[in-house]
Every structure is written in structure tokens, then in C-alpha cells.
Amino acid sequence: MSADIPHRMLSSRGEFQDALRAAFEHAASEGSREIWLSDTDFSCWPLGESAVVEHLAAWAMSHRRLTVLAQHYDDVARRHPRWVTFRRQWSHVVTCRALEEAEPGAIPCMFLAPGVVTVRLFDADTCRASVSSDVADAVRAKEALDAVLQRSAEAFPAATLGL
């Protein structure tokens, strides 16, 4: 059973990134069945850090699912090369989707491991965010994510085929 993470508000980019690092670690240690990552471009996420990728590798198993949603993946390979390598190695558990024609703010910025932890960024300009293990927070986050995912399409293939 997941140890409760008290709901708390975050007010800086550093706090948000620290909460994400802790969320990856917590999801791996708790064995969350699925993880959802969502952001416009993941520019302020610590996805490329070796500790984050190590937590994802420890978490990844064939019966688990990582779903990633972005508006575009243009800079992900440049900013997060370790994560891209992880994505290639674990392509059977990673699904990447894009909503390229999204209006500003349409894609929620969140980390969601249902039943384990939810990290949400509400305002990128002020870095107002929250972290929680509350089930109601997870349900609201998943509903917001589902609404956007319905309009998204497969994107960012693990490998590109050349001729």
C-alpha cells in the first residue's frame, strides 16, 4: 500500500522539479501499474537526469504502461537524451502521443501515477503547483488528461525507419 504523500502547494520551479524527481522515485518504489506524463514540451522537467531514468528503468516491466502526452517532441531528444534512450529500450511499455494543434494551456502539465502520487503544475509563469497522493486529486487529474488524450495522435516513434 502506498505511503500517503501529504498534499502541499509548490511555488518555485525548483520545488516542482524536486517533486517530479520524488514522484518518479515513489512510483518506482511503489510499483505503480501506470504512469502518465503530460506537458507541452517537457522543457522544465528533469527527464534527462540519470536518477530519473534509473527510477523509470527500475519501474518498467512488461505489464506496466507509461503514457506521455505533449504538444510536440521537437526538443525532447536534445534536452533529454537519456530519456530518449530509455524510450527506445522500453518502447513496448511507452506510448507517446501529441496534440499538435492545442491551444495554449490546453495540455495539462502533470505527473500521474494513479493511487500513488500526482504532481500538477497549474501556472508555469508563477510555478504554482501541487503534489499529493489524494485519490480525488488523481481522479481529477486523470479526467483532465483523458479529455485531451481523446484528441491526440500517436507521435515520437521509438525508432525511425530510413530507406
Domain CATH number, residue 56: 3.30.870.10
Mean pLDDT of the chain: 92
pLDDT number for residue 1: 39
Residue 80 domain-assigned? yes
Task: Give the pLDDT score at 4.
Answer: 73
| Domain count across the chain | 1
- Count each helix (H run) and each strand (E run) in the chain, helices first: 5, 8
- Percent of the chain residues past pLDDT 70, beyond the cut: 96
Averaged pLDDT for residues 44-64 = 95
Task: Kindly state whether residue 163 falls inside one of the protein's structural domains.
Answer: no
- For the chain, where are the E strands, in sequence order? 8-10, 34-38, 65-70, 94-98, 109-113, 117-123, 128-132, 153-154
pTM of the predicted protein model: 0.93
Range of the structural domain that residue 114 is part of: 8-154
Task: Please check whether residue 159 lies inside any domain of the structure.
Answer: no
pLDDT of residue 6: 80
Asked if the model's pLDDT at residue 3 lies above 80, the reply is no
